[in-house]
Amino acid sequence: MCANLSGWAGMAGHLMVADRYSEDNRTRQFLIQPNCSAGWKATSWFFAFILGVTLIVNGYFVSLGAWLVMPFAVLEMLVLGVALYGFLKQANGRELITISDGELRIERLRWPGHKQTWDFQAYWVKVILRGNPATWHPSRLLLRSHGQEVLVGECLTETERRRLAKDLSDCVAVFR
């Protein structure tokens, strides 16, 4: 289901938690995704611009005989490229929680080709919003069943995480 997110097209990139019911009201889905402000294309253009400016400035210094700036410029661009790649990889992750016919399925797509799936019986699922003793650290939303825990909604704000926990608890309570 994570691979086919075409029905969520209007919501992608705007909401961090999108919620929808099926037409027969038997299935409810929650799509959780980071609020990604820049995609691959915009980030590539940004990197190309910074790379071009850096090469022009460093080319000028090399022409003046200060050739030692070039290895540092290359190192800077390498670090920036790795950081942007890591940002994009993290920002493209999605979690899809589907509750249907007494089943709860969590699908996590972190990167194309890297998909994890967990299936639980909704009757046995416990929704846990675990606060952290350190007030500056965000809470954790866990779905637990039969000794297995799955952390969901890591990209959410505290308010969104609380709302999702309440919505999930309400959905799971229907099966009890």
Strand order in the sheet with 27-32: 17-21, 27-32, 94-100, 103-111, 114-121
Give me the architecture of the 15-36+93-173 domain, per CATH. Roll (2.30)
Q: What is the mean pLDDT of each run of 10 residues along the chain (176 residues)?
A: 41 61 78 83 94 95 93 95 88 87 89 85 91 77 93 89 92 82
Torsion of CA 137, 107, 103, 167, to 10 degrees: 40
Q: Which residues contact 165 (CB under 8 A, 6 or more apart)?
A: 127, 129, 141
Contacts of 101 (CB under 8 A, 6+ apart): 26, 27
pLDDT of residue 23: 65
Give the separation between CA 9 and CA 138, rounded to whole angstroms.
29
pTM for the model? 0.71
